[in-house]
Amino acid sequence: MITKRIIPCLDVRDGRVVKGVNFEGLRDVNSPVALAEYYTENGADELVFYDITASAEGRGLFTDILRETASKVFIPLTVGGGINTLDDFDRVLKCGADKVSVNSGAIKNPALIGEAAKRYGDQCVVLSVDIKRVDGEFRVFARGGRDDTGMEALGWIERCVDAGAGEVVVNSIDTDGVKGGFDLEMLEAVCARVSVPVVASGGAGCAADFIALFERVPRVSAALAASIFHFGEVRIPELKQTLAGNGINVRL
Amino acid sequence: MTAIIDYGVGNLFSLKCSLAAIGEQSLVTGEKEEILRADRVILPGVGAFADAYKKLCDTGMDAAVYAAADAGKPLLGICLGMQLLFERSYEYGEHRGLGLLKGEVVGMTGRVPAGLDIPQIGWNALRKTKDSRILANTPEGAHVYFVHSYYAEGCGDSLAATTEYGLELTAAVERDKVCGCQFHPEKSGRAGLDILRAFCAMEG
C-alpha cells in the first residue's frame, strides 16, 4: 500500500536557505544543496524548495542551486514561489524540478493551472492554497497569506483540480506557526471535495501531531513542515519509526 | 553507454544525472544512428499516451526503438515510456502502442476502489512476481516512487513486479531484453539507483 509522505520545505532567498538550520555534521547550514542531501539521506520522501527571492539575480541563483540539487538528489523535487507564467514552469522544470507549486500566480491568472497541466501533465501541477477562516467560511489568502481574496477556499480548490491540478497543498494560516497540530477540520473538508492527493501544511509541533493527522484524516497523503524539521525538534527518521509503530504506513 | 531517447516528451535532466551518479555514461539523443551505437537504450516519457506515441512516430524514434530491440539491445521504458511498449492504451480513446510487450494500458478510474486518490502519487512497495535482471539488486518490498493514473494489464509472463494500490498494479516488466518500470527509478532514491545499476549491467 502507498505510504504517507513526509516532506521538509526549504525557503530559499538569493540561493541560500533562510533561517539557519542546525544539524550536526552539516558544515554549511545555509546551503540548499547540502540540506537537500542531508534530508534525502535522513528519510525525506520528497523536498519542496520555496523561492522567496524578489530580484532577477536571486532568481538566477535559485535555478543554479536547483540544478545542482537535482544532479545530486534523486527524490522528487517540488518548486514553488514566484510561479506566474508558463515560462516560470519551464524555467524550473528544465533545472530538474518534478512538480511546480502555484499559489498567487493562479489567483492572478486562473487559466495558468489549465495551461500548465495541458503542457506538462496534471502530475506536474501542484495547487498551494493559504486558507484562513473568515466569517465562518474557509477563505483563500494571497501574497503569502497577507491578502484576503474574498474567495471561498473549497470551491476554489475544486475549480483548480478540475482545471488540472494534480495535487493540493493546504496551508492553514489559522494553525501555522502555532505548533498545536494540523488543521484537521480544514483538511477533512478539502479531502471530502477532491480526489487528488492532499498535502497537509501548517501547525505541526511534535510527532503526535503527525499521528493525529494520518489517523483522523486518513485521506491526507502527505505532511509538509519546515522549522520543526530544520531546528531538529522533530527528526524525520524517528518520526517515521513512531508513525510505523502506530500502524501508519511509511517508507523506512 | 546508454542512450536516452529524446522525442520531446518530459524532462530528461534527472534521468541523465541519476545515470551519472551510478557511473554510467549517457547521451540524450533523437538520432537513430547514435541510439544504435549505444549499449542500451532508455525510453522515458511523461504526459498523455496518444500525444507521446505521435511524437515518437513524428520524430522517427519508433523506428529507432524497433531497431534497438531487433539488435538485441537492452531497452528500458520508464513510466509512460513503459506504457508505450505495450500493444495499446485506452487513455482518452483507444490508441496503438509499440507492441513490443503483450498487454494493454488501462485507467485506474473505476478499477481501483473508491477513496483512493487518482493519480497514485508517492512511494509504494514492490512485490516481485518472478526473477528478473532488472530487479536483481532489489529486495522484496523496496519502496519506489510512482506518479500515474493508468497502468498495464494482461502482461502475461513479462510481469516482474506489482504494487498494491487497492488492487495489484503492474510495476515492472521484463521479457528477454525489453524492460519497463511504471515508477520512476531516477526519483526513487537508492532503491531506484539500484534498479538503474541492474539495467546498466545488462549487455546487448
* Residues A78 and A41: beta-carbon distance below 8 Å: no
pLDDT band at B92 (very low <50, low <70, confident <90, very high): confident
| Mean of the per-residue pLDDT values of chain B | 95
pLDDT band at A23 (very low <50, low <70, confident <90, very high): low
What is the spatial distance between Cα B159 and Cα B148, in angstroms, rounded to a whole number? 18
Helix or strand (DSSP H, E) at B168: strand B168-175
- The pLDDT of residue A118 is 85
pLDDT in tens, A201-243: 999 999 999 999 999 999 999 999 998 998 889 999 999 999 9
Q: Which of A196-210, B2-16, B182-196 has the lowest mean pLDDT?
A: B2-16
Residue A20 has pLDDT above 60, yes or no: no
Does residue A252 belong to any structural domain of this protein? no
CA–CA distances in Å: residue B131 to residues A45, A56, B97, B138, B158: 28, 52, 26, 11, 11
pLDDT in tens, A80-132: 998 999 999 999 998 989 999 999 999 999 999 999 998 888 889 999 999 99
Q: In the beta sheet, which residues pair with residue B144? A: B124
Helix or strand (DSSP H, E) at A126: strand A125-134
Residue A54 has pLDDT above 80, yes or no: no
Does residue A250 belong to any structural domain of this protein? no
- Mean of the pLDDT values across residues B155-181? 97
Percent of chain B residues topping a pLDDT of 90: 91
Cell numbers placing B162: 506489482
Does residue A117 belong to any structural domain of this protein? yes
Within the 172-191 window of chain A, which residues sit less than 8 Å (CB to CB) from chain B?
Answer: none
Does residue A54 belong to any structural domain of this protein? yes
User: Does residue A52 or residue A138 have the better pLDDT?
Assistant: A138
Residues in chain A closer than 8 A to B17 (CB atoms): 70-72, 74, 96
Q: 3-class SS at A35?
A: helix
- Mean of the pLDDT values across residues B16-24? 96
Residues in chain A closer than 8 A to B119 (CB atoms): 122-123, 166, 196-197
Q: Which of A121, A195, A222 comes nearest B47 by C-beta?
A: A121
For residue B113, what is the DSSP state? Answer: P
The C-alpha of B70 sits at a distance from chain A's nearest C-alpha, in angstroms, of: 32
Residue A171 has pLDDT above 90, yes or no: yes
For residue B157, what is the DSSP state? Answer: G
CB contact A45 to B (< 8 Å) = yes
B119/A120 CB distance under 8 A: no
B14/A74 CB distance under 8 A: yes
Q: Taking every pair of C-alpha atoms in chain A, what is the biggest distance, in angstroms?
A: 48
Does residue A251 belong to any structural domain of this protein? no
For residue B53, what is the DSSP state? Answer: H
Residue A28 has pLDDT above 70, yes or no: no
What is the spatial distance between Cα A139 and Cα B203, in angstroms, rounded to a whole number? 58
* Catalytic site positions of A: 11, 130
The model carries a pTM of 0.94
* Span between the terminal Cα atoms of chain A, in Å: 14
CA B15 distance to own-chain centroid: 12
Hey, CA dihedral for A81, A87, A92, A96, is it positive or negative? positive
What is the spatial distance between Cα B200 and Cα B137, in angstroms, rounded to a whole number? 12
Does residue A116 belong to any structural domain of this protein? yes
Residues in chain B closer than 8 A to A71 (CB atoms): 13, 17, 20
- The pLDDT of residue A19 is 65
- The pLDDT of residue A24 is 60
Within the 136-175 window of chain B, which residues sit less than 8 Å (CB to CB) from chain A?
Answer: 143, 145-149, 164-165
Parent domain of A181:
5-245
Q: Is B23 exposed, middle or buried (0-12, 13-18, 19+ CB in 10 A)?
A: exposed
CB contact B57 to A (< 8 Å) = no
- The pLDDT of residue A15 is 85
- Mean of the pLDDT values across residues A158-178? 95
Percent of chain B residues topping a pLDDT of 70: 100
Residues in chain A closer than 8 A to B18 (CB atoms): 74
Cβ-Cβ contacts under 8 Å between A and B: the total is 90
Instruction: For strands B88-89 and B95-96, give the pairing.
Output: antiparallel
- The pLDDT of residue A56 is 75
A50: CATH: 3.20.20.70
Q: Domains in chain A: how many in total?
A: 1
For residue A4, what is the DSSP state? Answer: P
- Placement of cell 494500458 in the chain: B105
Does residue A48 belong to any structural domain of this protein? yes
For residue B156, what is the DSSP state? Answer: G
- The pLDDT of residue A189 is 98
Closest CA to B3 of B57, B81, B55, B111: B81
* Catalytic site positions of B: 79, 184, 186
DSSP alpha helix (H) spans, chain A: 32-41, 56-70, 86-94, 104-108, 111-120, 153-163, 184-193, 207-216, 227-230, 236-245
| Domains of chain B by start residue, with CATH | 2-200 (3.40.50.880)
B14/A166 CB distance under 8 A: no
| Mean of the per-residue pLDDT values of chain A | 92
- Mean of the pLDDT values across residues B137-142? 97
What is the spatial distance between Cα A149 and Cα A136, in angstroms, rounded to a whole number? 15
What ipTM describes this predicted complex? 0.92
Q: Which residues of B105-143 are buried (b: 16+ CB within 10 A; e: fewer)?
A: bbebeeebeeeebbbbbbbbbbebbeebebbebbeeebb
Residue A27 has pLDDT above 70, yes or no: no
Residues in chain B closer than 8 A to A95 (CB atoms): 13
Q: Is the peptide bond before A32 cis (omega within 30 degrees of 0)?
A: no
What is the spatial distance between Cα B83 and Cα B152, in angstroms, rounded to a whole number? 7
